[in-house]
């Protein structure tokens, strides 16, 4: 059984994240989507809220499991018998971040590979931070987040930003 882990901050989940989850779920027998604590980024949504949003949008994908983890990602991946870490790649900036992360992960856990997936053209420019910025300026985000979450994400961001 081929198992992968897709980690991220998902603050909030976007169509780009969902795009990568759908692609990974077609390649692997099981995909753990893991909300990880990112010490460099301040979150707007709580871990429970992020897990709730991800569960809602993946409820029809049978081989996807959503969890949160405070562990080192590699320890989490080992505990799930995962052989691959999935990351999404949008542009050269992502590449620079990912290659650093990959090298670090490879030196700690040589048996776990990193797989980079591109989203569809429509989602290539999308980031959680741009979604937040749009809401700050009262712009419509319905093309960028899963439709069942659009109202909720807009409301929460308006209250907290
Ligand atoms: P962000 O960089 O938006 O704060 P996360 O930390 O939640 O995102 O990202 C988790 C993973 O998903 C990272 O590998 C990131 O590059 C990827 N990702 C984020 N947005 C997109 C997108 N629009 N298309 C493809 N991958 C994405």
| Prediction pTM value | 0.96
Substitution site in 8, 47, 51 for ligand 1 pocket (most atoms within 8 Å of beta carbon): 8
> Quick one: pLDDT at residue 37?
82
pLDDT tens digit sequence for 127-153? 999 999 999 999 999 999 999 999 999
What residues act catalytically?
Answer: 17, 41, 90, 128
d(CA 86, CA 31): 9
Buried-state track 27-59, b at ≥16 Cβ within 10 A, e below 16: ebebbbbbbbeeeeeebbbebebbbbbbeebbe
**Residue 38 Cα to ligand 1 middle (Å):** 13
pLDDT tens digit sequence for 51-101? 999 999 999 999 999 999 999 999 999 999 999 999 999 999 999 999 999
**Residue 124 Cα to ligand 1 middle (Å):** 10
Buried-state track 128-160, b at ≥16 Cβ within 10 A, e below 16: beebbebbeeeeebeebbbeebeeebbebbeee
Domains observed in the chain: 3-160 (3.40.50.620)
């Amino acid at each position: 059984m081929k198992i992968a882990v897709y980690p991220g901050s998902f603050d909030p989940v976007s169509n780009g994240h969902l795009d990568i989850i759908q692609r990974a779920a077609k390649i692997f027998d099981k995909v753990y989507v893991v909300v990880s604590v990112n010490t460099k980024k301040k979150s707007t949504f709580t871990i429970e809220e992020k897990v709730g949003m991800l569960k809602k949008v993946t409820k029809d994908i049978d081989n996807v499991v959503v969890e949160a983890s405070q562990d080192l990602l590699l320890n989490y991946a080992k505990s799930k018998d995962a052989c691959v870490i999935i990351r999404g790649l949008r542009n050269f900036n992502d590449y620079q971040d990912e290659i650093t992360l990959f090298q670090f992960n490879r030196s700690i856990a040589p048996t776990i590979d990193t797989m980079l997936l591109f989203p569809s053209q429509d989602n290539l420019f999308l980031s959680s931070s741009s979604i937040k910025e749009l809401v700050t300026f009262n712009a419509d985000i319905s093309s960028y987040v899963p439709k069942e979450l659009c109202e909720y994400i807009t409301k929460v961001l308006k209250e907290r930003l």
